Amino acid sequence: MQDLAHRVTVYADGIGVAPSTGVVQLFVARSPGVSSFREGVEAAIPALRRYARALTRNAETADDLVQDTLVRALRAQHLFHGGELRSWLYTILTNLNRNRLRSLSRRPLLSSLEDGDAADAAGPEAGGRDIERALASLVEDQRAALLLVVLEGLTYREVAEIQGVPIGTVMSRLARARAQIKAHLDGERPALRRVK
């Protein structure tokens, strides 16, 4: 994967990565004909980046995911028939992330051990690492639902639309995610379910 700071991708539909900062940007010519759709997409970029970074836990992967989301959204603008633009963009991002995870699951998992990964590490940053580990231990659907509600402030109904599930399923995922994070932070072992 190329480093974002060295890559510049400019599409005809106006999306690119800034060469110096690596920030995903929407390049829109300021003219009287600029659509409110493009302005809405541009306004949603910070929220999309925040959600993608929390979802992937990797800045480069998150920026790639947001860029792909913006490309798809602008190319499929004709498919957007009103409603909440931000929810539609989150749906695209969530589906792209699911595809990415499916692709990654077919590859062997390699991870390096860092000096900061020691179990006995303490200090003010230890709490942040505990929460990060607790979030990482969640099932993807639970983590996504929790991040959309807590981090992005979406309603349960909006999350249900984004994930394509009933609102009760969202509520169940949130309850399980919160319980699992609490148990992880309290030092409890995950409960095993009895299989008959």
Distances in Å between the Cα of 171 and the Cα atoms of 141, 156, 183 are 12, 7, 18
Give pLDDT, residue 135: 83
What range defines the domain where residue 24 resides? 1-109
Is residue 115 included in any domain, yes or no?
Answer: no
Is residue 44 included in any domain, yes or no?
Answer: yes
Is residue 116 included in any domain, yes or no?
Answer: no
Confidence of residue 13 (pLDDT cuts 50, 70, 90): very low
CATH number for the domain harbouring residue 192? 1.10.10.10
The tokens describing 49, both together, are 């980046």
Whether the CB-CB separation of 13 and 27 falls below 8 Å is answered with no
**pLDDT tens-place string over residues 33-92:** 337 888 999 999 999 999 999 888 889 999 999 999 999 999 988 888 888 899 999 999
CA distance 28 to 49: 18
Residues 79 and 100 in one domain: yes
Residues 17 and 86 in one domain: yes
CA distance 125 to 105: 30
CATH number for the domain harbouring residue 71? 1.10.1740.10
Q: Residue 96, CB half-sphere, CA atoms under 13 Å: how many?
A: 24
pTM attached to this predicted model:
0.59
State how many domains the chain has.
2
Give pLDDT, residue 62: 93
What is the identity of the amino acid at 153?
Answer: G
